[in-house]
A and B are shown apart, each in its own frame.
Chain A
Amino acid sequence: MRYLWRSRPKYWGSLIAVGVALAAAGCGTASNSGSQQEDKFPEQTIRVIVPASPGGSADIVARQLEGAFSKALGGATLRIDNLPGGGMNVGAVAAAHAKPDCYTMLVHIYPNLLLGNLTTKDVDYKPEDFYPLGTATYEATVLRVRNDSPWQTINDLVNAIRTSPGKYKVAISPQSSFHLSALYFREALNLDFALIPYGGAESRLALEKGEVDFLISGVFNTQSIASTTRVLAVLDEANKWPELTNNAPAASQALGTQIPGISSRMMGLVPVGCKTQYPNRFAILEQAFQQAVNSDEYLEELKKTKTEASRFPLSAAETDNFLKEQVPVMKDLVAKYEDLQPK
């Protein structure tokens, strides 16, 4: 026993910490009783709201970034607060209404962040309630079929859909970038196929089971089914990930038609009051976020999940410009597609 304690102090430390954390969790959230001085930030635990359950893609991004971000903040403690529900909206609403003292931040995904109040009733936040700290990752959309599928190219698939309109089915995750990409793909080529909604992991499984004919999902999140399925096309401007996507062409190039693609972007955000009321604190957070996203430590974490090519560092201002550009785009999209409109 003594030997064990000596040989693995870190390991036992973590196990004990588990117990302490559990006890602390029962005590609820620490109240904000610290000083409001701008020069000593952060002085308390920073709450990182993740609007998904542990294991969801936003959760994985937050946890991979956690170590580097904490280090960049001088060893500040971060507490990941999983608030799932309402299609990522419960967490976003909680963050929008949090005290804007820069001790609460949100990890969210574009386009879901912009779609929340457009596509769902009862959602009490607007994208303008947040200001970004920056972008961390980028995930392009791909179209996958099973290895035993008769279609070798995207052109084969499109021809098959044209020959038998309404016959073929695609698995998508509702209201994700993949869903929007599928809508664009269907419209740009004037195709008739059915969109079947599934949760993320379920959509991949639906393709493996052969329940659907193809899947529109992410470059990285479909790596788990890379050995039993293949990519026919990347729904992005160009294929920047040839080794992960069977060297498939970009759909627009292969089909000779401009097909707009939507890709997910993971970003860190704070309630906008953090930037306006506590500019110094915001600057510290922004700088730390940028430092973390660009750090080797974060890259190592991404390498573990073979997603290092997803890193996409954008500054707060760049991310903000992008979001501002995209707000009207999303509004038009929702106005155009009945599928997306709130019922």
Chain B
Amino acid sequence: MGDILSGLQLVASPTIALTIVLGVTLGFIVGALPGFGSANAAAISLPFTLGMPLEHALTFFVSVYAGSQYGGAIPAIVVNVPGEPGSAATALDGYPLARQGKAQLAIGVARMASALGGIGSVLVVIAVIGPMAQLALKFGSREMFLVALLGLAMIVTVVRGNPFKAAVSALLGLLIAAMSANVITGQPRLTFGLLELHEGVPFVAALIGLFAFTEMFLIAGDRSLRDAAVPLPTTPGIGRWRGLETVKSLARESLAGMGTVFRYPVTLVRSIMVGLLFGIVPAGGAAVGNFLAYGLARNRSKKPETFGKGNPEGIVAPEAADNAVAGGTLVPTLVLGVPGTGTAAVMLAALILHGVQIGPDVMRTEGAAVYATLFSLMLASILILPLGTIFATPLTLITRAKPAYLVPIIIVLSAAGAYAGQNSLVDVGIALVFGVLGLIMRKTGYPVIPLIMALILGPIAEVNFLRSLSLGDNSLSYFFASPLAIILWTLIFLILIGSIVGRLRRRRRDMGKAAASVVDDPTHASPART
């Protein structure tokens, strides 16, 4: 308790408040630039933060993190180009809303969900950081393998439409994920002699290709879109630029969006829990957690068919989970020294360089700084509300930019983002390859989301599977030999059974209605198809 109060005292200073404002602002900017990301911003800022007191440095990093998690949603909604890996799920319903001229509403939803996700997760973490670290210690290689398997099983809940195509996409993702040096023996597999592929296909580059490049290729390939301004808004008052009037109505719509979040309290809480779990257990972080939160929201919804067509609930789920991951990831980073995300890895470096011994003792030796960091994340989450409104409103005007200008600008920005990931031109080439792959998949009706999830989860599953085999002397019974493993197996089983039953039930209902069954997939909200 003493540490919590000392932490609060550390945060209650004007310099901390200004650090948060600066951090959130910077985070928002790098988050909105595809691929650039908070991890890069944090790494570049690292040398400058070494002269600051520890709690200021940590405050700065968590603020950048929180700002970027929200900032990434803006381009995802406005142009279907996620700024951060976590925002890919936000595009599923955010982009259709923007196509309907409701970009402000969608961004308002994202803003409130992000803020509440951050605040909610920090409250939980503050209450139970000790036991949570204990929980993280229970996840050994075997359990991590099962968590990855659980994520793969949940692909079926995230993607609707043709299950065969989803399976092909997931298998392709697993194959691409295997393009690396074998995690145990170091044997290169399908790496084409590229050292850059030895640690696996760079994920950020792949994501930029599959979203940003693919989307721009589609727009460029569609004459009606290319030559005209994006056919947009239908909302009264935003149809044409009318100076102050427009800004006012944009702000009104944005506020309405923020209010919308409170219509989905269950989804909000559920998504925060999913985000927290994926923050604490480093199994894909926001990129996977957000899709799962989205899938769960749709499965539990009374109108699952409205998802992928601009249902605000489809933004609430991933955005709340997104910022909840930020809170959750602080637990393994601070207490176990295992960062779940790139930004957390830089924070870890800052802690080490500040002379903090990361490990089980950190709560005893640096309790006040840990709590101060958590409070800072909460403050940063709250600040997303006013700052986000100021920054995001002008950005939605992008939707009315002529594609002839928009496409080249976004391609250049995305290429720079792909390069920035690892300071490597090879990554830009990889992004281009994935752009073409995404184009083929979108044109032929294969969903890209199973591929993305398999790309993240494949390596986690592989390394932990091989390690578990060694640990269990090549006996498969090892995979069932802990209570947590049994729980995870049960969950995997329930998800698979549940999805089969759900599918059968839907089919029967559809047949009963004799309705025309149009295969529709949320990833196909492309302008080329609408």
Write the residues of chain A forming the contact surface with B, with a CB cutoff of 8 angstroms: 4, 8, 10-11, 14-15, 17-19, 21-22, 25-26, 53-55, 59-60, 63-64, 66, 80-87, 89-90, 93, 119-124, 166, 169, 174-175, 194, 196-198, 201-202, 204-206, 208-209, 211-212, 223-225, 227-228, 303-306, 342-343
Contact = CB atoms under 8 A, between A and B. Distances in A.
A60 B56 CA distance: 20
Given A14-B48, A93-B195, A211-B140, A22 B26 contact: yes
Nearest to A224: B359
Closest 3 CB pairs of A and B: A55-B349, A343-B187, A304-B355
A215 to B, nearest CB: 14
B80 interface: no
Given A11-B15, A83-B422, A209-B137, A66 B47 contact: yes
A14 B19 CA distance: 11
B188 A121 contact: yes
Contact of A120 (B26, B40, B186): B186
Nearest to A342: B186
Contacts, number: 172
Contacts of A204: 337
B245 interface: no
A82 B471 contact: no
B141 interface: yes
Given A60-B353, A208-B360, A304-B354, A21 B188 contact: no
Interface string B414-436: 00100010111000000000000
Contact of A11 (B42, B45, B56): B56
Interface of B: 14-15, 18-19, 22, 26, 30, 40-52, 56, 60, 137-138, 140-141, 181-188, 191, 193-196, 198-199, 336-339, 342, 345-346, 348-349, 352-355, 357-361, 416, 420, 422-424, 467, 470-471, 473
Contact of A84 (B353, B355, B420, B422): B422
Which of the listed residues B138, B349, B424 has the most CB atoms from chain A within 10 Å of its own CB? B349
Contacts of A206: 140-141
Contacts of A15: 19, 22, 48, 60
Nearest to B192: A122
B316 to A, nearest CB: 31
B199 A225 contact: no
Interface class of chain B by DSSP? helix
B198 A21 contact: no
Nearest to A22: B44
Contact of A63 (B47, B339, B473): B47
A285 B141 CA distance: 45
Given A18-B26, A60-B349, A87-B181, A227 B361 contact: yes
A124 B56 CA distance: 42
Contacts of B187: 343
A183 to B, nearest CB: 15
Contacts of B47: 63, 66, 80
Contacts of B196: 85-86, 90
Contact of A54 (B30, B56, B346, B470): B346
A209 B360 contact: no
